[in-house]
Copies of this chain bind each other. A is one copy, B any other.
């Protein structure tokens, strides 16, 4: 079975402007394709993605088209440039939009991104890769992704303003090459592992008993959906409704 990777390029620059982050992502894609992974890159800023934290903000919002692909992937790679020492606003916007997935579950009651593997690609002309990578991978793990060892690759020049990845021939950096290779291989290793042996749905859905006697106001419980599903039982309406969201992913490959 072929693994499928979606790579979200969170550069600030619309096509066809050259993207330094894409240049490094292309090397990741080379590795992934050599490992028989089907890759699709999405340059987020080319789409009309609205600010917000739901799955569909309406009014021409094109995030649902991106989300559909994300949910069907085994591997999710976020690429970002660095501005002022942290990840780009477009990257932050993507993470915010993924908040909407907390309202859904997969067919066993876990968040939809369970059994997806996360990785990150960062470029900047200096400083900020650890912060950008750490936050992004942590956010992905919160959303349900598994993070393999060495799941980041980045390139940076030395202190201060200077040329970016393409102009500086960042690919000549042995560290960037090494981490690019390691990240690419490890996301595939873990994706295959999780495909063959999904994370069991034990202990990662909330028992309703835990909630007993605790006041949970209306509208604040979105992350408690797994608990509601557990109470409802397998054949209930929430199950049926939400199951379709992740069905494509399982049946598609």
Contact = CB atoms under 8 A, between A and B. Distances in A.
Interface of A: 12-13, 31, 35, 45, 51-53, 83-90, 92-93, 95-96, 99, 110-111, 113-114, 126-131, 133-135, 137-139, 141-152, 154-163, 170, 172-179, 181-182, 184-186, 188-190, 193, 196-197, 199-200, 202-204, 206-207, 210-211, 214, 216-217, 220-224
B149 A83 contact: no
Contact of A186 (B31, B137, B150, B204): B204
Contacts of A141: 137, 147-152
B206 A53 contact: no
Contacts of A114: 149
A160 B175 contact: yes
A208 to B, nearest CB: 11
Say whether chain A's binding surface is mostly helix, strand, loop, or mixed: mixed
Max count, chain B CB within 10 A of own CB: residue among A158, A200, A216? A158
Max count, chain B CB within 10 A of own CB: residue among A84, A185, A214? A84
A217 B179 CA distance: 19
Given A137-B137, A159-B170, A161-B221, 13 more contacts: A85-B130, A85-B139, A88-B96, A89-B93, A158-B173, A160-B176, A161-B220, A163-B217, A174-B216, A181-B204, A186-B199, A189-B199, A193-B197
A144 to B, nearest CB: 5
